[in-house]
Amino acid sequence: MPTIFTRIIDGEIPGRFVHSDDVCVAFMDVRPLTPGHVLVVPRAEVDQWTDLETDTVAHLMTVAHRVGRAQRNVLSPARIGVMIAGFEVPHVHVHVVPMNDMADLDFRQADPAPDQVEVERIHAALREALTQ
């Protein structure tokens, strides 16, 4: 059975994409740790990031870097955090999180119902920043 991320990539479940290429996609997290939290996900359905080809890992981090720069420009956080945990979904995903404090990387603080108008505003701003 495909993971929820594969279903998002395939368009079965809606997603707010900020990046898409032949290797990976990046989309807004539906339970963001902070506003602007983005997931960078390979198209290949692989559970552990250490099982990916090194070229794919490098590409994911390149995309995460681009997303992080866009987040910094759009949201002006103190830091941009990057984390690969993978306990929630058995499909590699890189969390790219605008941060003002270390507590911003605490999954217990994820917002189960973010303001959708704000999410859409940030989504549009990140998409624009990534096309420049």
Give catalytic residues, as residue numbers.
Answer: 93
Name which of 131, 23, 1 is nearest 67 in CA terms. 131
Q: Which helix (H) or strand (E) holds 18?
A: strand 17-20
Contacts of 49 (CB under 8 A, 6+ apart): 57, 60, 84, 86, 92, 94
Q: Say if CB 35 and CB 53 are below 8 A apart.
A: no
